[in-house]
């Protein structure tokens, strides 16, 4: 039941990518990625098919912009996907891609300084190949590092976001199965009991059912990170719920856990209609899509930390606002 082969495949690919010159990235990906593999990335990338397209559209331009790039992982784990009846195996990596921002990327001006692209990647491995990938990344945070201001002032704080408090998130060795089962149960309790915004309890009491009081919610640029249940309710959860209606049911493509870590992603996770006020923006009569990755750390029987990736550029574009083009001045960026 272990995941050593799948983990080794992904780790070897990461090492090979870091060593590859830009012109060798497609060939490097092709050694580990199936020819028809589906790759999903945040706006403006969307869905790509096959390693050559991913190399040409994403990796080569990024590597040419962020020179001397390092993948600085904070969390690495694997597990079987609850959504498909625990058939598929996924390997998850989260951290920052760090390099010297020497050339513009997506219209974002270069700084010549260190820059960090916060990312989380889910890879589905089947028969010794990667056959599906979700690669989510915080482009607005990179924009802010370059001196751009894509959003109004956020309600919480956003820094270069650290890994787990416990510094034990790199599960290169397989964790005991019972620990992953407990983590998945804690995540499912949060989703099932709290995820529909209809518990009837005051928000702080509702959150306390699933979260430790000293929880940390590491949110994306434009929202920020917040510490303790009380501040999370005040600085994100409460304002977020108040700004949306007509929320659809939660839809995940993968949900898994290993050890004290777990997470999920959707495409989208849910839709909701913005009634106004979220991130200082006006309301709309159109539902918007929330493409999200959530990564969790469990402590005892509750959730202690949560790293969140939301494709805010895509969400606001569904509302008629092209944040990337507006901020960089490049149409279709």
CB 127 within 8 A of CB 161: no
Same structural domain for residues 208 and 304? Answer: yes
Asked if the structure places residue 320 within a domain, the reply is: yes
Asked if the structure places residue 101 within a domain, the reply is: yes
Which DSSP state fits 152?
S
Last residue of a domain, one of 125, 145, 165: 145
Total of domains in the chain: 2
Put the strands of the sheet holding 261-265 in their side by side order. Answer: 225-227, 211-218, 302-310, 292-299, 261-265, 254-258
Asked if the structure places residue 164 within a domain, the reply is: no
Q: Given the structure tokens 């397209």, which residue do they identify?
A: 53
CB 235 within 8 A of CB 226: yes
Positive or negative torsion for Cα 266, 270, 273, 277:
negative
pLDDT at res. 333: 53
Positive or negative torsion for Cα 142, 147, 149, 155:
positive
Last residue of a domain, one of 123, 145, 167: 145
pLDDT at res. 159: 76
Same structural domain for residues 31 and 111? Answer: yes
CA gap 116, 194 in Å, rounded: 33
Same structural domain for residues 137 and 41? Answer: yes
Same structural domain for residues 119 and 206? Answer: no
Put the strands of the sheet holding 33-41 in their side by side order. Answer: 46-49, 33-41, 129-137, 114-126, 89-101, 66-80
pLDDT in tens, 98-133: 999 999 999 999 999 999 999 999 999 999 999 999
How many Cα atoms sit within 13 Å of 141 on the Cβ side? 27
Phi, psi of 4 (to 5 degrees): -65, -40
Alpha carbon 277 to chain centroid, angstroms: 24
pLDDT at res. 193: 65
Residues of the chain with pLDDT below 50 are: none
Same structural domain for residues 89 and 214? Answer: no
CA gap 195, 147 in Å, rounded: 35
Q: For residue 303, what is the domain's CATH number?
A: 3.10.450.50
Same structural domain for residues 321 and 202? Answer: yes
Range of the domain at 67: 4-145
Distances (CA, A) of 61 to 22, 105, 313: 8, 7, 19
Asked if the structure places residue 160 within a domain, the reply is: no
Same structural domain for residues 288 and 181? Answer: yes
Residues 6+ apart with CB under 8 A from 64: 22, 103
Last residue of a domain, one of 96, 125, 145: 145
Same structural domain for residues 272 and 133? Answer: no
Asked if the structure places residue 125 within a domain, the reply is: yes
Same structural domain for residues 139 and 181? Answer: no
Strand pairing category for 89-101 and 114-126: antiparallel
Asked if the structure places residue 171 within a domain, the reply is: no
List helix spans (H) across 44-176: 51-54, 60-65, 139-145
pLDDT at res. 41: 98
Same structural domain for residues 131 and 198? Answer: no
Which DSSP state fits 269?
S
Q: Which two tokens stand for residue 57?
A: 């559209």
Percent of the chain with pLDDT over 70: 96
pLDDT at res. 25: 98
């Amino acid at each position: 039941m272990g995941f050593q082969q799948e983990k080794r495949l992904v780790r070897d690919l990461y090492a090979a990518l870091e060593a590859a010159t830009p012109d060798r990235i497609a060939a490097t990906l092709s050694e580990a990625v199936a020819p028809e593999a589906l790759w999903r990335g945040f706006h403006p990338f969307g869905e790509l098919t096959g390693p050559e397209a991913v190399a040409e559209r994403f990796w080569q331009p990024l590597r040419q912009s962020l020179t001397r790039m390092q993948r600085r992982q904070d969390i690495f784990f694997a597990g079987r996907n609850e959504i498909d009846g625990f058939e598929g195996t996924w390997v998850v990596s989260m951290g920052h891609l760090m390099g010297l921002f020497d050339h513009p990327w997506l219209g974002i001006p270069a700084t010549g300084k260190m820059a960090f692209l916060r990312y989380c990647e889910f890879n589905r491995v089947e028969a010794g190949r990667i056959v599906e990938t979700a690669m989510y990344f915080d482009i607005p945070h990179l924009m802010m590092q370059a001196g751009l201001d894509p959003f109004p002032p956020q309600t919480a704080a956003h820094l270069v976001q650290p890994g787990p408090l416990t510094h034990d998130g790199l599960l290169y060795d397989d964790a005991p199965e019972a620990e992953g089962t407990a983590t998945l149960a804690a995540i499912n309790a949060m989703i099932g009991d709290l995820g529909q915004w209809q518990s009837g309890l005051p928000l702080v009491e509702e959150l306390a059912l699933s979260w430790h009081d000293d929880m940390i919610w590491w949110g994306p640029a434009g929202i920020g990170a917040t510490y303790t249940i009380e501040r999370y309710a005040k600085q994100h959860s409460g304002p977020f719920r108040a700004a949306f209606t007509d929320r659809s049911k939660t839809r995940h493509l993968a949900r898994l856990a290993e050890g004290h870590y777990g997470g999920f992603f959707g495409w989208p996770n849910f839709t909701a209609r913005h009634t106004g006020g979220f991130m200082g923006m006006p309301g709309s009569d159109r539902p918007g899509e929330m493409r999200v990755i959530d990564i969790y750390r469990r402590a005892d029987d509750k959730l202690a930390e949560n790293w969140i990736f939301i494709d805010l550029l895509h969400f606001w574009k569904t509302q008629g606002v092209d944040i990337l083009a507006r901020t960089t001045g490049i149409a279709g960026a």
